[in-house]
Amino acid sequence: MVKMAEALERLQSLAGSPIVRRVSTAFADAGKELSLVGGPVRDAMLGVPVHDYDFTTDASPDEILAIVAPLSTAHWDIGREFGTIGARVVAGEGEDAVADTVEITTYRADAYDGVTRKPVVAFGDNLEDDLKRRDFTVNAMALRVPEVRLVDPYGGVEDLLDHTLRTPSSPETSFGDDPLRMMRAARFASQLGFHVADDVQDAMRAMAESIGIVSAERVQVELSKLLCTAAPTGGIRLLVDTGVADIVLPEIPGLQLEIDEHHHHKDVYEHSLTVLEQAIDYERERHPGEAPDLVLRLAALLHDVGKPATRKLEPGGAVSFYHHDIVGAKLAKKRLRELRYDNDTIKSVARLIELHLRFFGYSEGAWTDSAVRRYVRDAGPLLERLHMLTRADVTTRNRRKAERLAFAYDDLEQRIAELAEQEQLDAVRPELDGNRIQEVLGIPPGPEVGQAYKWLLELRLDEGALGQDEVERRLREWWARRSA
């Protein structure tokens, strides 16, 4: 719970920090207003460490630049069109000096055309109007500096205390200005653990299709931010429940398969959310303190998206999803491309989905060393992520089954570690390179060299390291058989 007295004390501390004090004093000396706004104010009141210094002012971009240039080691105006100037500000001297990045934006009073979501940029002349155009009341609070006065014209403090997300203007107006705010509602609900007000949810349901006018790049950024929150499943549920996910990520609501009265199977949607939660738990357990793993989280959320397309009702009440791993990898790749994810992310997520069922063959019967080597080879640099995804994919309530699968994967990881120690498994390659293959077989460069290399790799995977003399002998025998 947020205690008001402690929250105000934290605001005083924020206003008194060296960077804020130096910037605010410079603006006051220039006769200009300055306020910390949005995230820094909200986070300070919640007791969350403040990492971003976002200011707003009545100064024009040219005036902002003139004021901050003497305070900074670097400054940039990439957002100048929208009134934003960034700078690296230094406060203090010698060993006591501190430096941090600040962004300072002129008051805005934008208008929107409601078709392309591109604002007609217009600068405003007062703080209250600037706050009204922000997304949620908890982000529409400002802290005047250097005098330290909280400005909250739209009830952000009350909503902060109630852990509620509301919009400063009507939600229909706010989402009409920028439909992406519907996704931001889901992200902040997950990030802050807040409830989204009923009227805001109603507006999301009524206006869900308008998210279609937002660029794929902006949707992708917001989806990634949601997935990288501490507990993203609440936000995902909100997007699904309001219909927004039907537009931006339809594969997820598509997992809510109808249950036939005679054919019963797990709820794939709920299972996928549980897998995401468990993958995050493994991520934190194995890599504490590290940044969220977006690739792992995307793969966990999307790992079963091939099930609706491969669902088959079998005689006797069974339900099968044959090859849903392969189909799911293709569907995930298509969706992530449409959302403009980078090629490395797309390739990694699709590969994890394609491989996520491979382990279950191990649990049904012991693998040979050759099969373990192939598992590692196929996973490549994604092996650690595949470990976490595969473990997270076990959501059965049957305790004995869960324990059996966990024991089997412990055993597999142990065998991988032992083989890696013996053979440097993570860098498995034939014992002969292409040049030596040509020398041994007396052949020129060409496709035959590649075929021989591939055969030697299979030999290495099957039998491990054999030594160069033995490998050359085997290669000559293979070539003779092939030629015959």
Average pLDDT over residues 275-293: 96
Q: Is the pTM value of this prediction over 0.85?
A: no
More confident residue, 480 or 258: 480
Over residues 402-440, the pLDDT tens digits come to 888 888 888 888 888 888 776 665 556 788 988 999 999
Query: Residue 34 class from Cβ within 10 Å (0-12 exposed, 13-18 middle, 19+ buried)?
Result: buried
**pLDDT over threshold 50, residue 296:** yes
pLDDT confidence band for 262 (50 / 70 / 90): very low
Two structure tokens written together for 137: 């009341």
State how far Cα 222 lies from the chain centre.
Answer: 9
Question: Which range has highest mean pLDDT (109-123, 341-355, 442-456)?
Answer: 341-355
Backbone angles phi, psi at 216, to 5 degrees: -60, -35
**pLDDT over threshold 70, residue 317:** no
More confident residue, 464 or 230: 230
CB 255, CB 311: distance < 8 Å: no
Nearest to 352 by CA among 372, 371, 378: 378
User: Which domains are seen in the chain, by residue range?
Assistant: 1-159 (3.30.460.10), 163-249 (1.10.110.30), 281-427 (no CATH), 434-483 (no CATH)
Average pLDDT over residues 350-361: 90
pLDDT confidence band for 285 (50 / 70 / 90): very high
CB 30, CB 63: distance < 8 Å: yes
pLDDT confidence band for 121 (50 / 70 / 90): low
Q: What is the reported pLDDT for 260?
A: 46
Over residues 36-81, the pLDDT tens digits come to 999 999 999 999 988 889 999 999 999 999 999 999 999 998 888 8
d(CA 251, CA 261): 24
More confident residue, 398 or 209: 209
Which residues are 35's β-sheet partners?
56, 144
- Mean per-residue pLDDT of the chain: 90
DSSP 425: G
Query: Cis omega (within 30 of 0) on the bond before 119?
Result: no
**pLDDT over threshold 60, residue 261:** no
CB 165, CB 139: distance < 8 Å: no
pLDDT confidence band for 311 (50 / 70 / 90): confident
Query: Residue 45 class from Cβ within 10 Å (0-12 exposed, 13-18 middle, 19+ buried)?
Result: buried
**pLDDT over threshold 70, residue 447:** yes
Average pLDDT over residues 142-151: 95
Q: What is the reported pLDDT for 398?
A: 84
**pLDDT over threshold 60, residue 361:** yes
Over residues 156-202, the pLDDT tens digits come to 999 999 999 999 999 999 999 999 999 999 999 999 999 999 999 99
Percent of the chain with pLDDT over 90: 67
Q: What is the reported pLDDT for 465?
A: 82
Which residues are 72's β-sheet partners?
89
